[in-house]
């Protein structure tokens, strides 16, 4: 629906990638793991390897979760934009098709320590 | 049926007003809460200037209620003699 | 001899007419369109402005008289509070977290509402509406001022109160309120009236002020009880203005119905998201609790809102679209938000704590279906970690919803173990939301919300580029003083000492 205004209304979005010094935002969440309250933000260069996003972004941030060490990364399934997705760990974020402000989620079967669904 | 209510601060000024409201609305339920009195009634509540005047022994302007009012619910109608709250259902 | 003829005293209706509507005039040398340029573009059709009437029929002279009386009462109590060290009557200085959030998030909202009503009073053509908006505009600035005065007594002794105006703009949890009022005050005059006058004042204000004031009364906070009551005595008039305004719009033209319904849907949801803060306050921050957030919702949301929407059904209005989801979420929101506030409490200008066992039992009794199952295990984990000397902190900065700006910590309406993830693309740019309803609000006016100032996304841009220490300075947070756990705070240390001093004559 077009916006109602008294004259022409044109705007620039506030959070475009250009404002992030060449980096891009990726939002990450671990399904069924709510010790960490919300998806968290990683601000990384699009050239970053996906494996680096996991090793240097996800693992240190989520360290306090008692399930973290039990993850079998070969069994993990991923979602991007809420749709099933298979990342290539050896490729960059850009080559994995990740764009600025994308949300990725990972799902670890049989692990859900603190969510009351044991 | 829907509930209308009026909530007033609990103090010396409102005590006789609450008594007057009870006289004019015998079925209303008076809930005493911390620092507040909330009066619930089914669909309709009336506050009459005359009854308040009888309780406090002086002339009273219904607008004085504004000072001690906390909240209300329902369609309001006020003139010099009455203030009513009502739902149309 | 001239006999002085006694003037007939005007009755209330006549007085109201003389002192409001008769103050208006028909312009002669300018067209009405030029004088009131913003009254048509939203699509609301008004045929007869004189049909609008204040049901209290309050005229300006009475208004000043009663407001002056309220101010006298308020400042008399505030003086006595200051003169008798009223702050030491609190149940605990922990209670002040509620007041800090109130001051940082809600008080600036009062000021925003003041500006909004001043503008609405100028933009509406009807004299009755203009006068009512003028009164409300003055009320709102009075609320902002009395709140700042009331809280200033705590600022003399406790941390975290010192920079609420800056924090309103910069810190993260205040953006729930800031974005709400920014959205309303940048809307047209009719939408503003539905946003603040109807949805906020009529549907939701009881949920904010009544539990908040009772909480203050239960916890010995006379300063806030008094400003709360003084402000609330104006709210009944505001609520009535809001309800009158919506009835007026609906009665004037049938074409107004879908527009008004859309605004009700939007503003109910924006309001209920904002009030999650009050939920966490009631369930967690009050040392002496009044009622649970869910109970307050039952009384002031379900019962009251139910009656209201039954009444409005005659115009074709239905309850807001998000009502059912809001109702389902009442078992969860206060816990979800508080868990978030606690794990990010390095970034809050107030203190938090893991609830005590006694408090957890209370929560479990108030939320028998959800607390023990979903939330107690997480609190227990945090408690264990703290006891082991490894207090749990979440250094992952949260994704914020593009519309309500709260962290994406709310779960799916039917699955409390799964966060709600929603996203959309507008002009090749991705946007993230906390719920279907926030996404709908965005999709209705994407051009407006792409401009949203999201504090966490800003942290990664100039001038901070992700530097958390620089961010602390920028939001006026003194690490180890304003933030963190109450148990370890200077506030607690001081309060305990001063309370002890009251009871002893020790000379050291």
Encode pLDDT of A27-80 as tens digits.
999 999 999 999 999 999 999 999 999 999 999 999 999 899 999 988 999 999
Specify whether the backbone of A81 is left (phi greater than 0), alpha (psi in -120 to 50) or beta: left
Tell me which residue in B71, B77, B88 faces C232 most closely, judged by beta carbons: B71
pLDDT score, position A101: 98
Q: Predicted confidence band at C508 (pLDDT cuts at 50, 70, 90)?
A: low
Tell me which residue in C62, C239, C310 faces B87 most closely, judged by beta carbons: C310
Provide CB contacts within 8 A for C16, sequence distance 6+: C53, C54, C57, C58, C59
Region C168-197: mean pLDDT is 96
Is the predicted ipTM greater than 0.90, yes or no? yes
In the numeric block, the tokens 């960059």 are attached to: A92
Structural domains in chain A (count): 1
Q: Which residue of C has its CA nearest to A9?
A: C447
Region C315-340: mean pLDDT is 97
**C259 has a pLDDT exceeding 90:** yes
Asked whether residue A32 is domain-assigned, the answer is yes
Q: Predicted confidence band at C5 (pLDDT cuts at 50, 70, 90)?
A: low
Q: Predicted confidence band at A118 (pLDDT cuts at 50, 70, 90)?
A: very low
DSSP string, C266-328: HHHHHHHHHTHHHHHIIIII-SS--S-HHHHIIIIIIIHHHHHHHHHGGGT----TTHHHHHH
Six token digits for residue B28: 């209303």
Which chains form contacts with chain A, at 3 or more CB pairs under 8 Å?
C
- 8 Å CB contact of B66 and C307: no
C42, C364, C419, C435, best to mutate vs chain A, most A CBs in 10 Å? C419
**What value does the mean pLDDT of chain A take?**
93
Q: How far is A110 from chain C (nearest CA, A)?
A: 14
Per the CB < 8 A criterion, the answer to whether C325 and C276 are in contact is: no
Tell me which residue in A5, A14, A66 faces C451 most closely, judged by beta carbons: A14
Read off φ and ψ for residue A80, nearest 5 degrees. Answer: -125, 135
- 8 Å CB contact of C398 and A40: yes
Tell me which residue in C417, C427, C457 faces A117 most closely, judged by beta carbons: C417
Tell me which residue in A9, A31, A41 faces C418 most closely, judged by beta carbons: A31
Provide CB contacts within 8 A for C421, sequence distance 6+: A29, A39, A82, A103, A105, C408, C432
Tell me which residue in A38, A101, A112 faces C409 most closely, judged by beta carbons: A38
User: Distance between CA C479 and CA C489 in Å, rounded?
Assistant: 11
User: Distance between CA C207 and CA C272 in Å, rounded?
Assistant: 10
**C506 has a pLDDT exceeding 80:** no
Six token digits for residue C21: 């509507």
**What value does the mean pLDDT of chain B take?**
93
**B53 has a pLDDT exceeding 90:** yes
User: Distance between CA C442 and CA C438 in Å, rounded?
Assistant: 6
Counting one residue from A and one from C, how many pairs have CB atoms under 8 Å apart?
A: 142
Of all residues in chain A, the percent with pLDDT exceeding 70 is 96
Per the CB < 8 A criterion, the answer to whether C323 and C282 are in contact is: no
- 8 Å CB contact of B35 and C308: no
Q: CA nearest C184: which of C84, C295, C266, C272?
A: C266
For residue C68, how many other CB atoms are within 10 A of its CB?
Answer: 10
Asked whether residue A82 is domain-assigned, the answer is yes
Residue C330 half-sphere exposure toward CB, CA atoms < 13 A? 20
Six token digits for residue C227: 């400003």
Q: Which residue of C has its CA nearest to B38?
A: C210
Of all residues in chain B, the percent with pLDDT exceeding 70 is 99
**What value does the mean pLDDT of chain C take?**
93
Q: How far is C389 from chain A (nearest CA, A)?
A: 13
User: Distance between CA A39 and CA A31 in Å, rounded?
Assistant: 10
- 8 Å CB contact of C430 and A35: no
Per the CB < 8 A criterion, the answer to whether C267 and C275 are in contact is: no
Of all residues in chain C, the percent with pLDDT exceeding 70 is 98
CATH number at residue A82: 3.10.20.560
Asked whether residue A76 is domain-assigned, the answer is yes
Chain C residues in contact with A62 (beta carbon < 8 A): 396
**B86 has a pLDDT exceeding 80:** yes
In the numeric block, the tokens 């009459």 are attached to: B48
Residues spanned by the domain of A64: 21-107
The DSSP output letter for A44 is E
Q: Where would I find the H helices in C24-163?
A: 32-35, 60-83, 96-101, 107-123, 127-155
Q: Which domains does chain B have, with CATH numbers?
A: 3-86 (3.90.56.10)
Q: How far is B14 from chain C (nearest CA, A)?
A: 13
Of residues A56 and C201, more confidence is placed in A56
pLDDT score, position C345: 97
- 8 Å CB contact of B3 and C70: no
Of all residues in chain C, the percent with pLDDT exceeding 90 is 79
Of residues C263 and C197, more confidence is placed in C263
- Provide the CATH topology of domain C38-486: Ribonucleotide Reductase, subunit A (1.10.620)
Chain C residues in contact with B66 (beta carbon < 8 A): 56, 58, 66, 233, 236-237
Asked whether residue A115 is domain-assigned, the answer is no
Region C426-445: mean pLDDT is 97
pLDDT digits (tens, 9 = 90+) for C131-181: 999 999 999 999 999 999 999 999 999 999 999 999 999 999 999 999 999
pLDDT score, position C426: 97
Q: How far is C485 from chain B (nearest CA, A)?
A: 29
pLDDT score, position C209: 78
**C1 has a pLDDT exceeding 60:** no
Q: Where are the domains of chain C?
A: 38-486
Asked whether residue A112 is domain-assigned, the answer is no
Per the CB < 8 A criterion, the answer to whether A57 and A87 are in contact is: no
Specify whether the backbone of B35 is left (phi greater than 0), alpha (psi in -120 to 50) or beta: left
């Amino acid at each position: 629906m077009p916006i109602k205004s008294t004259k022409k209304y044109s705007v620039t979005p506030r959070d475009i990638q250009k404002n992030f010094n060449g980096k891009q935002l990726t939002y990450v969440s671990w399904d069924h793991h709510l010790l960490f309250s919300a998806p968290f933000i990683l601000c990384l260069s699009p050239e970053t390897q996906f494996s680096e996003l996991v090793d240097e972004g996800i693992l240190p941030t989520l360290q306090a979760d008692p399930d973290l060490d039990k993850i079998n990364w070969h069994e993990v399934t991923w979602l991007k934009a809420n749709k099933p997705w298979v990342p290539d760990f050896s490729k960059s974020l850009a080559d994995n098709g990740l764009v600025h402000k994308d949300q990725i989620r990972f799902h670890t079967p049989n692990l859900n320590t603190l969510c009351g669904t044991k | 049926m829907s509930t209308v209510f009026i909530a007033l601060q609990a103090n010396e000024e409102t005590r006789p007003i609450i008594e007057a409201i009870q006289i004019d609305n015998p079925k209303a339920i008076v809930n005493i809460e911390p620092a507040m009195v909330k009066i619930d009634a089914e669909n309709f509540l009336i506050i009459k200037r005359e009854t308040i005047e009888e309780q406090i022994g002086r002339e009273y302007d219904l607008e004085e209620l504004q000072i001690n009012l906390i909240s209300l619910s329902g369609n309001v109608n006020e003139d010099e003699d009455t203030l009513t709250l009502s739902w149309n259902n | 001899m001239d006999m002085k003829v006694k003037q007939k005293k005007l009755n209330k209706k006549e007085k109201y007419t003389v002192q409001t509507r008769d103050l208006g005039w028909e312009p002669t040398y300018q067209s009405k369109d030029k004088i009131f340029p913003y009254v048509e573009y939203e699509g609301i059709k008004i045929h007869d402005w004189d049909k609008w009437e204040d049901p209290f029929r309050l005229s300006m002279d009475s208004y000043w008289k009663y407001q002056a009386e309220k101010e006298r009462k308020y400042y008399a109590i505030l003086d006595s509070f200051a003169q008798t060290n009223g702050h030491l009557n609190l149940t605990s200085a922990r209670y002040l977290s509620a007041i800090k959030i109130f001051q940082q998030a809600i008080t600036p909202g009062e000021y925003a509402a003041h500006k909004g009503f001043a503008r609405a009073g100028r933009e509406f053509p009807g004299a009755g509406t203009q006068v009512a908006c003028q009164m409300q505009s003055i009320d709102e600035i009075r609320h902002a001022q009395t709140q700042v005065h009331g809280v200033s007594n705590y600022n003399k002794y406790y941390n975290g109160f010192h920079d609420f105006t800056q924090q309103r703009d910069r810190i993260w949890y205040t953006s729930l309120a800031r974005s709400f009022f920014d959205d309303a005050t940048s809307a047209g005059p009719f939408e503003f009236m539905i946003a603040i006058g109807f949805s906020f004042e009529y549907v939701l204000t009881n949920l904010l002020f009544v539990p908040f004031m009772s909480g203050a009364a239960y916890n010995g906070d006379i300063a806030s009880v008094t400003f709360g009551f003084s402000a609330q005595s104006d709210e009944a008039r505001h609520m009535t203005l809001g309800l009158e305004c919506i009835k007026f719009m609906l009665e004037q033209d049938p074409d107004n119905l879908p527009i008004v319904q859309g605004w009700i849907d939007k503003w109910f949801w924006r309001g209920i998201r904002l009030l999650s803060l009050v939920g966490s306050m009631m369930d967690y921050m009050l040392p002496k609790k009044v009622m649970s957030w869910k109970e307050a919702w039952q009384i002031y949301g379900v019962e009251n809102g139910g009656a209201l929407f039954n009444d409005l059904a005659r115009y074709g209005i239905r309850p807001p679209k998000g009502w059912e989801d809001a109702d389902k979420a009442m078992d969860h929101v206060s816990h979800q938000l508080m868990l978030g506030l606690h794990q990010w409490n390095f970034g809050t200008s107030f203190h938090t704590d893991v609830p005590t066992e006694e408090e957890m039992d209370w929560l479990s009794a108030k939320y028998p279906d959800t607390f023990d199952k979903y939330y107690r295990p997480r609190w227990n984990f945090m408690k264990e970690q703290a006891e082991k000397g490894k207090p749990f902190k979440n250094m992952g900065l949260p994704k914020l919803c593009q519309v309500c700006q709260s962290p994406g910590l709310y779960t799916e309406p039917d699955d409390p173990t799964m966060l709600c993830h929603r996203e959309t693309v507008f002009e090749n740019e991705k946007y993230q939301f906390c719920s279907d309803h926030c996404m709908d609000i965005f999709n209705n006016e994407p051009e407006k919300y792409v401009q949203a100032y999201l504090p966490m996304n800003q942290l990664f841009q100039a001038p901070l580029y992700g530097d958390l220490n620089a961010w602390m300075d920028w939001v006026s947070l003194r690490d180890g003083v304003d933030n963190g756990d109450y148990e370890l705070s200077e506030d607690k240390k001081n309060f305990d000492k001063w309370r002890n001093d009251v009871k002893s004559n020790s000379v050291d």
